[in-house]
Amino acid sequence: MEMFYNFNQVEFKEKREHVGIKSITGEKAQLCVIRLEPGEATDHRHPEEQIGLVLAGRVEIFAGEETRELGPNEGYCIPGGIRHGFRALDGAPVEYIEVFCPPKRENVT
Amino acid sequence: MEMFYNFNQVEFKEKREHVGIKSITGEKAQLCVIRLEPGEATDHRHPEEQIGLVLAGRVEIFAGEETRELGPNEGYCIPGGIRHGFRALDGAPVEYIEVFCPPKRENVT
């Protein structure tokens, strides 16, 4: 199993339109860098726990009944099963860390 | 359980001398931001899987028999039980993401 990764040398993979992803998938957890373009709003739920941290840009996040605007160095922890969504703010892309536990197969890059 | 975190408003907690930490601890995984000062070299092993990404600065990482120098946007995945260590390079602090699965109690901030 490869232990080292260089995200400078890989392009974002299109997870779906307006959503790019780079990821490191372990046996137990998965660390992703997500690039969300403006105009896209995600809205879903999944059984995996999701923890994250904004790296650049600003994003509106709703989780359950709560909505917040987060910028760089702000983070979140969404328990499995909670409906949640992300939307880039300020007409600019936002990049953030997403950690999934257990890993999501669709996020393997 | 709190779902949102602002690392701009919290100081690094001293994990030990020369090592600061901020963390978000879920039920299944844990996302930490680590600030490692120059002069400190870590060397240990633990059963938790550890995945990470360098945010700023440069760090030498050994894991098992491999040693690499990583800079911003470079990452790693160290299976549980593998001996590993980190050392800041260039006489400057390094900041990086550490994800632990399951969470480590000592990293709760």
Query: Which residues are CB-contacts of A4 (< 8 A; sequence separation ≥ 6)?
Result: B61, B66, B68, B70, B74, B75, B76
Query: Which residues are CB-contacts of B96 (< 8 A; sequence separation ≥ 6)?
Result: B33, B34, B36, B52, B53, B54, B55, B57, B59, B70, B86
| Average pLDDT in chain B | 96
Domain B13-102: top CATH class: mainly beta
Does residue B34 contact residue B106 with C-beta atoms inside 8 Å? no
**pLDDT, position B81:** 97
Residues in A touching B7 (Cβ below 8 Å): 53, 73-75
Q: Which two tokens stand for residue A10?
A: 């890989």
CA distances from A17 to A87, A104, B17 (A): 13, 18, 45
Q: Output Rg (C-alpha) for chain A, integer angstroms.
A: 13
Q: Which two tokens stand for residue A7?
A: 């995200």
Q: Between β-strands A19-25 and A84-88, what pairing exists: parallel, antiparallel or unpaired? A: unpaired
Tell me the fold of A12-107: Jelly Rolls (2.60.120)
For the cut 90, the answer to whether the pLDDT of residue B40 exceeds it is: no
pLDDT digits (tens, 9 = 90+) for B72-98: 999 999 999 999 999 999 999 999 999
SS3 A107: helix
Could you tell me which residues of chain B have a Cβ less than 8 Å from any Cβ in chain A? 1-8, 24-31, 33, 49, 51-53, 55, 61, 63-64, 66, 68, 70, 72-80, 97, 99, 101-102
Distance from CA of B16 to the nearest CA of A (A): 22
Could you tell me which residues of chain A have a Cβ less than 8 Å from any Cβ in chain B? 1-8, 24-31, 33, 49, 51-53, 55, 61, 63-64, 66, 68, 70, 72-80, 97, 99, 101-102
Give the one of A27, A51, A74 whose C-beta lies nearest to B31's C-beta: A51
pTM: 0.96
Q: What ipTM did this prediction achieve?
A: 0.95
Among chain A residues, the shortest Cα distance to B47 is held by A28
